[in-house]
Chains A and B, each alone.
Chain A
């Protein structure tokens, strides 16, 4: 595993960008662009990332960046790849699609499913800040149960979609779950994905101070707490073989370090979460976690007996 001190020095995300203070996207994007060594084209729909990118004619990333329509990310990326291939430019750069959780789990999932079924050749990163943050914190299919958003003022009732599992069911060669609070985990996964071909899907949790309602200085610690509580799990599935990575790998031996209650207590979005609901979320987390641990121990393909 790469250590922070070993990450390349070159920065592709320039300073002075428009991300909110403490935004996890910037942290994650730094690691991603380092992992691709700037040899990439970013395909990005309407999202917080668009805002981070700056307004014409100012840009905050020194790699090619193509803005695309909200539902179209995966299809647009497939087109970029097809165009590069048709022009004999296939080896020039990695095509990196990067969309938010709404743009992935909700409006973008049809195009993503199509691209996954075709195994189109690009890396797709969903940065998951767990709601429509760019439009002011409305619920998405990735918003956790109990979270208050502007369209779930009493707290969302449903658990989030498991998009990595949906992607795994498509049989794509690489699926990973990571967190911007662990930039080296992000980096290692993008490096691994870069060396593969076909559709590679990386789900990256990105804490959001404004949408989750916490102090921006706590962004990384809250992201780490999510992993320690088992709410976010670091893993990768390479050609169908599952393994936990990084902090989650350690937790498989040590056990989850903190209850969900501790994770939610530092975030204003969970202030309407009642005890019974919290217990439900805790059960949901533990069920998922034990499944991940069992799969990691077995090292088996999903469809293996």
Chain B
């Protein structure tokens, strides 16, 4: 194990190499590109014995991974924003085909208008596709989570998306503890692919048209219909509520580092006001909690590491008895509210001792978010609650209303 100073993209690429990934396909898009630049260099030099397919689009990047994963190989790609949107058809395909592909998403704002900068609208927009979605707070977590992602994916036969904030993490240098290859090999054995059989001696038709109702096969055995396949997929995703923390615990056992499993916590135990977010905002919010504590507010932070499956039970448990949760979303379901906020409200609905949940939209298109602004938003939410407002429209941080015509 050695500590190296590296960007988030380097941390992701390093993890993919440590995972002995067999097939990598990618298409350039800012801010993800350095991940696959590093990987292609290592494949070219022989440092990473893998197939690197330099495709002509993101749709093909994930298609190559789907083909490779279907025959049993460990496959990886990375993308951002419009690249993720362009491959959306295949995001669904990879999940429905139950392929344990790992994809890093360096989170970036969706066009139009163009922005290469960070928010989380891209990955939030595919939250329903059936992938496990993990969000990273810092570069160490990017490395640790990407290695764990393969472990989780191959255990459950579902793809895993590792999300980290573009530029804020992807291009920011931080010290990262890099485990040696043997450590990772012990944690992540070569992939076995019991569901993926492509063999001329045992021919299967993989992913054909499936009817709505179950149907007997040639031997008269009843086989699932489309809805049963979807229910099995959903069940596998719910299993991730155990598999994600289990992988984190196992990783902590050998490296001494935990990312919190489903959720990360800071000063939460006695907190009355809980600040909720995903990604690098969670790190930033710890400063805000400190500042609010200095003012006498019992503030704590609850970070969403695992956004899909949504850890309803853990959230209910950790938020029970608090008076207020303030949710910071770097994304918006247009015409409604931030995705984490709406999910949290649904999770806490009707809980006898659930806190009020107030949503904050911030950082869209790379708009800088300062601890001062975050603290101010919390104070405003507390004031609203004291005035008896338990629900409100999302509060936007830093919006310059005078510029909107």
List residues of chain A with CB under 8 Å of any chain B CB.
38-41, 43, 50-51, 53-59, 61-69, 71-72, 74-87, 89, 92-93, 110-111, 113-114, 117-118, 120
Contact = CB atoms under 8 A, between A and B. Distances in A.
B200 A50 contact: no
Contact of A78 (B53, B59, B209, B210): B53
A194 B61 CA distance: 26
Interface residues of B, number: 45
B210 A72 contact: no
Given A79-B68, A83-B71, A111 B50 contact: no
Given A61-B205, A86-B50, 19 more contacts: A50-B209, A54-B208, A56-B209, A64-B203, A64-B204, A64-B206, A68-B63, A69-B90, A69-B93, A72-B59, A76-B64, A77-B67, A82-B23, A83-B23, A83-B69, A83-B73, A111-B60, A114-B56, A114-B57
A82 B64 contact: yes
B66 interface: yes
A10 to B, nearest CB: 13
A192 B199 CA distance: 23
Given A86-B23, A86-B68, A67 B200 contact: no
Contacts of B23: 79, 82-83, 86
Nearest to B27: A114
Most chain B CB inside 10 Å of its own CB: which residue of A40, A54, A67? A67
Interface in B133-168: none
B354 interface: no
Interface of B: 22-23, 25, 50-51, 53-57, 59-61, 63-73, 75, 89-90, 93, 198-200, 203-211, 215-218, 223
A110 to B, nearest CB: 6
Given A69-B89, A75-B64, A57 B215 contact: yes
Label chain B's interface by main secondary structure.
Answer: mixed
Most chain B CB inside 10 Å of its own CB: which residue of A40, A55, A86? A86
A55 B75 CA distance: 28
A69 B215 CA distance: 23
A56 B75 contact: no
Nearest to B198: A64
Contact of B200 (A38, A69, A78, A82): A38
Given A72-B59, A72-B60, A111-B56, A53 B205 contact: yes
B52 to A, nearest CB: 9
Contacts of B208: 50, 53-56, 59, 65, 67
A35 to B, nearest CB: 15
A215 B330 CA distance: 61
Nearest to A77: B67
A29 to B, nearest CB: 14
Given A87-B71, A89-B71, A111-B59, A68 B200 contact: no
A303 to B, nearest CB: 23
A75 B223 contact: no
Nearest to B56: A114
Contacts of B223: 56-57
B138 to A, nearest CB: 31
Contact of A69 (B61, B63, B70, B216): B63
Contacts of B66: 68-69, 72, 76, 79
A219 B66 CA distance: 36
Contact of B210 (A55, A71, A81): A55
Given A57-B217, A65-B208, A80 B90 contact: no
Given A41-B198, A58-B218, A93-B200, A75 B205 contact: no
Contact of B205 (A65, A72, A86): A65
Nearest to B73: A83
A79 B67 CA distance: 4
A66 B67 contact: yes
